[in-house]
Structure 1
Amino acid sequence: MICRKAKRRISIATKCQWIFLFILFLFSCIDEHSIAKQSDKNWLIKFTLESAGKGIPVTHSLSEPEENDVRQLSFLIFQPNGGNYIKTINSNSGNITTDENISNIKYVTVKLDQGNFDIVVIANAVTIIQSLALDGLSKYEVLSLLDITIPSGTKWATDGSMPFLMWGDIGNITVDDNLSSTGVSGIKLTRMTARVDVVLSSQAQSVFRLKTVRVYNYNTKGLIVPDITNSQKWDANLEQAIGASLPVNPLKANDPTPEACALVYSVMTAQDVACEAEIYLLESEAGSNIDFLNNTCLVVGGEYSDDGGIVWKNSFYRVDFSMVTDQEASYLPILRNHQYRVNITDVTGFGFPDPDEAFRALPANIRAEVIGWHNSGMEDVIDDGQYFLKVSQGEFSFEGKEYSELDIDNILSVTATNPSGWKIDKITDAQNIVINPLSGWLRTNITLGDGGVTTQVKILLSENSTDSQRNGYIYLSAGRLSYKIKVIQDVKRIVVSLDILDISGENEISELIFSSLSGVQPQPQQFLVRWKPVVSTVLVNSIPIGNNVFVYSGSSDQPGTNLTSLADPLGFRLLTIQPEAFSEAELSIDPFKVRESKVEFSIAVNDESITKHIFLRQLNYNLIADNSSVYILNGNTYTFRVRSNAQWKIRSISQEYTSGLSFSSYLNLKQTDNLRVGETGGNNTIAGDIISFTTISPTSEAAGKINIVFENIDAPKLFEDVTVRFDLISSFYPSTHKGWAGSNIYWDGSKLTFDDVGVYTKQNYQGVYFQWGSLYGISAADNFSSSSLVYKPDGNAVSGLNWSSIPRVPDGNITSAPPSGKNIRDRAYLYEITDGNAGIGDICKYLTEKGWAPSGKKWRMPTSNEFETTNSYSYSELGANSDANASGTNYIGEGYCKDDIGQPFFPRSGNRNPNDGSIVNVGSLGYYWSGTPSGTSAYDLYLSTGYLSPSENWNSRSSAYSVRCVVE
């Protein structure tokens, strides 16, 4: 607390250094978590925030802009009146702007849903907030969780690398079109730290040289937000701390001892005289006489001389955070957003030779007075040991125009604690000639003020029509204290302005967004560039954003490319912008294509220059569903992902009958499924939103089709309705494949995989073996034994399995009822039953789902008919065989080329016998499984010398053959 009695002293501990966890920033505005919206409508709301004012004007280790640095803002949205948490909206430094004249004023625009909310803003703490589970908690429960822990023995970095954590209570607001127009201002950001400065008086300087300041027993854990529910700790009217708000365990730095954890500050901002803007502390409670070794305190160290400066010796003195009145010490807490100035008025004798020894003793041979105040915007402070006088600025610089009481940037704030108040004694010019306080060029609207309150004084100036700068001085006094304010007024300057406006000429804009479908050129848009002086030339430059530059059409104005300057006697230019259409080829590569450039406009007159910019963005708003074309009616739950760069909602779901039994619904949705009308999502182009559904499980053949219509719910609408269709069938009879894989399935050292269509570098790989319908790959080397490697579906290579224990499709009879136009050899049965947990099904489909197959395609095992025809194969000998290995990457030179999509080569890879897994026929015979059953067996491709059969069906399902995948 600030002391206001005669000769109060505050002793403050020295040695404070902290490290601070700090945070990488990414995001423009991001909804990290969202519960229910109050409305589908949202508004852009501009917030104006004010952080704590400057401290004493010295050569700071942290400058004023650095002390006010805001790199991230987190808006915590709650239900009204301190209700439950709804979501957090983060904004990074790219969206936060600083006032051109006042560094502690920040502006940020945030998109909020329409409705009533209670909002808190936190600065520079995104990572801390993201680490917490906040759902279901009230506002005050959430705020109580926000804390930081600083490792003992470390200091707050003063190189500007670690901005302060701050908070502000926006409170209850109604988000609507009115708030979008007016914005929210007057939000005060309160730092969670206190600042401590140590300064020698002129008397103390004659006998003592300040070299170090140490801090003992400082807290290492603190709350980002004070306990605003406790009126003994937080004054809601003054918006300032009046008591220390501490976490449950504030973690005082005393392990193993306070001495071992002491912080040492050896950087003096004024050599031998002052340590300022170096020491920043978390809040701590007031100490006591009884337990003084646990008090937060300082030890000042330096050189003392008792012989007029001939000999200087090291000496250390303890200084407590205490107020001394009538020889009694009243200990003070260290409070957030406060600044403490320790004035060492005199050193009367030698202290202790060791800092830790000084810490363990009571203060001796040193006189220190402290002035403490809440950082409320005041900059300059002077004191006489009893009262202080502080002003918001010691120097003002004004333009040459007239300033009146209606202006807002000519305010001088004055506070004096002397009960008699303060007054302006005189106002003079640079030659010390008194200026008439009623009619002179420099005046004030108020000439005196009461003590104990802050008074806003308007500095009034007439227009400077002379040809030179003029200086003046305002002399303030409060009791024995006096202060001189310098006022500088420049000559009246040429007005230089540059604006980028909408076509009405009234509203400033920063971007134009164009959207269109493939091959459709967007409609042109216009913006206005206006400048002064009108005789000046505006330079134009275009800067690509990333690799996708904005492309102008031939009929468009082309600022920054063909148009590099603007000149017009009226001082404005209307520009018409139209981009080229997106091509189908572009959108096939990137369905959410963005072309973007920043166009900069610059004007320079004498020593004044202005640069403004506008972003030109062309986007393809789209919705892509990564669904399969076919799902099996087997009672399973399926998922697919929907990616979009806009908001969407499922407008309708319909079904069509195809064949077999007819059902009122082919879906049997579980409570956890979300394929439902009204489901929403969007603005997620990377992972996409997951859609889940469960099918029925008919006992006979059935087939149907599902149609899902997704609509855009942005206003205005960003894309037309998108219909997603897929078939639901009890048996899968796929369309003809779109290409053969470039190799058999092999083990690459970490997973089962194979090569893409048209890749021939591994076409001679023998590959690993599979029993029919098994997802377990089997080693291609040596007869099977307990030491043989088996490649499991989870990606692990193991041994110790029995041949008969490897999961596969049992030998039971499988019947088929093909639809019209298909026969039993067209069925992809293994595709229908793929189950990674059971270890059976279509290995090609499974590898696709795992992401282990060549990307960008969906793969399956071929049907028996897709091995046809015999005439499409030709024998080929491509070299000698190499020794077999477990991973199937050895070379097989003999085999058959097939004249089909991908021109695959099928090596004669041999097989493993069904009874015991012994390996046979490598290089002489080849067997390749299809996904098609044949009674109690299954169809395969058989390759011999001079003979081959695409429709072999007599082999046991326990035989282990090669697998060659096809594109679905």
Structure 2
Amino acid sequence: MTRNSLNYRYLLAVALIVPLFSSCIKDPSNTVRLPDELEKGRVVFHINIPRSSLPSSRAIADGGVDDNVVDEVTLLLFEPSDYGSGAYLGEAVAAEIETDGSDSQSKTFSVLIPDGEFDALVIANADDILSQFKTDNTGYASEDMVFFEQNLTTTIIGGNSGSGYLEWNSSPGSTDYKPFPMAARFEIPAERGSGSMETVFLIRMLSKINVKIAFGQTYTGTADDTDIFRLNSIVVPNFNTTGNLIPGDAGGKALSVFDPSQLNLPSTPGTVYGRIGDLVYSGTQIQSVTVNSVVVPGQQCVDEIFLPEKAGVAGSDNITCVLVEVYHPLLGENRWFRVDLQMPDPANEDSIEPVDMLRNFRYTLNITAIDGNGFATAQEAYDAPAEGVLVDITAIDESDMNDITFDGRNQLTTNASYFVFRDDDPGQTLKVFTDYSGGWDIVSNTATDWLSVPTTEGQGAVTTPVSLIPATNVGNTVLTGTIVIEAGALRKTINVIQVPLLDNITADAAPPSGFTPYVGAFWRSNQIGERLIRITRPTGTAADGDWAAIVMEGEDWIVMDTLMTTDPNVGWRVDAVEALVESGNDADFDKQHPVIGRKEWVHGTMNDDDTDIYFRLGLNGPHAPDSNNPARYGVVLLAYNNYTKLQRIWIRQGEGPDYLFRPDDPVNSAGITERTAAVPFSAYNLTAETLNAQVYQYGTTTGGTTASKFTEYPTQGGALFAWGLTNAAVRYAWDLISVSPPNWILGALGGSNKYWSGIGANNETCPQGYRRPNDGPTNKANAMTAVSDLQLSELRQSLFDKFQTGNTNMNITNKSAGYYADGFFDRRSISADGRDVSTSSNDVSSYGFILFNTANQASLFFPLVNRSRNGNTASGAIYKQTYYLTTGSSSLGIAVVFSDGNIAGILPYIALSVRCVADI
């Protein structure tokens, strides 16, 4: 009696993970048969092969690098529609496919795509199949995607040789080698790089069958091998009763053995009875295995049998089966046995159904015993019932099972080896698979005090889900641990961490000397492209160890990955030409540099080999600002130095002026009950269209030669302004990079004219709709010691969580110092003192302070330009950076100094930066 038990658990559905980049670089070398008036733009694809000890893009562990070959890529373009019914429009052929020199598992290729929205059928390694398909289907130009999908299968069969289907030769360098054909559906949006762009999974258009003798045999190594069962040859009949390549009703997704409705799929080419064009595998295709250092011949046929997708069809004449020729030591001759591929119906295990041969699946037939005499010929075995051989069948294909440990014989595979739990995480699933006959065990769990792992062992040849259930993290530190799994001699370590509740993180860790963190990232409302977080290793090991970056707030719109930017001119890259670097406000930047990883967390290690913490932040769509929400805010947590140091990275999307603290936010200061003076601040420093000139008088086009405006990026210092002058330097915008003292005369102003209430109208430099903020009354000299004055301070009520009277040593608790990724600073090389970029340009951009509101994650960045117009540019001077306000401790005004996190009143005998507020 034949025992066919199918362990129908997926193990690796990922063919090739193909995230999409896009740009509009014109190139006439590749053409698309589409309306001439449509402009073509270059779309760049990135192929990232899953990492493992033996990487394999589609059918794992038994295979090798051959599985990863991509020689050709063609995109068939269709009108967008549901269910692949849109009309065929033409095709686009990929330009040269390149492999990253530093990462063989990373490939890129580009395709010219016209403007507009399309559905695409991506075909890889199948140009000859496509050509034959067009010859066989002369009316293809009027067909839809479903027609292409259904009929390409027939072409694979008929086009494999002139006289019918032959064995698929998958060994590069050998005669008639053919890389695996692959296909996937993909939607190309009109706005390339928008939130609608997702990861593409190229799926191998063939299934694989491996056959193994899997019961223990004692082999003495005799010359005639008469003492063991061994494979001699394998015959596959009825291979061409094939179903659809990508059935339209499956939505272009890989089929699933879990779905009962996908059993007994209709067979497009029709039923063929009898042994039609047998495929024969023998000779060197039958391989030995090594057991305890002894080579045992004729024990397996792996990585040899590749077939088109085939629907499971009942009936002995056309069910998918293999005919196995086995040397039978008890009979002293070769005997034939039939093995049917069938399984219990997932909906009814009492019903045994034929197995659908699904693309991208690896079917392993493990012969566990031979208890019959078989037949003398293959035909006799085919005509007889499947019996006399005991077989366990595994169907393995699961997209998230890609963390593989392989020792050349067995594998131990999980869906991940790294798990991150947020405080409110109800639990996650660790999936474990091994083909080691003894199964697997969890032999260690160092996270038992916070992580429950109910399942600690599992059998072989079955993917077992293991629940990982965390307790609540009530502290303010990251909890860590490891889970060690063993399967025979194989060991795999699973790292687990749990981050605390965001509200429990009340302060950022003091960074080690020489380690400057990023404290925030910024996008305009319509921007989504990459922001590069790169933190270099300081001298020594103070920052070394494992690190992780996790989206804590905004996981529905913030994404990240660790892919290297495709811009070769980012200032810190080797051989970069920084003058050619692409910046966040450039046209088409988001199309050229989207973040396509779609991850909510990434991790790595800082050490001698990996000297940078590096990852990319991006967004999955634009923000629609309104009067109540000019911007949206989120938080990414960086845990480094083996997760012992925590740094919050404050995320902002939206350039409009906004409140940091709103009038109805709580007040943490004695004597003040409401923030009635809170105002919305600009996200940018003030500058001018032309520097070293007098700007127009506020609200007019007279009194100056140039207009004031805001900087292009929040990290840019802008211009320096002085006020209260009596000469032509009133409202003058000095540049940041000159160091000579300015030519101005401080006037001996008297009476009310020495206060902003008297001179503000002639000294205001903010653009129309904005003005300078105040720090209390504007009509008197003021030490800000009275609560009544504090109640008028726009500065303190708008920017600080806690504030008090006085002009020195203000206790600013809602601040963090570091770099800001705004699409400009993060793409350039940083000066030797670790502060500025573009130091020889008026676009100089700087390190600074971010102020934040933990109640709603709102944030506002102030660059500390380390420049002043009194000639003092020394590092460490109090002038890094000061901002002019409109009143304060002197008779002429106050500058707010952020150099040590405090504010202080100083005499305004220098030109300083200005930050405006919306004039409400």
TM-score, scaled to structure 1: 0.37
Q: Which is richer in strand?
A: 1
Which of these two proteins has the greater Rg computed from alpha carbons?
1
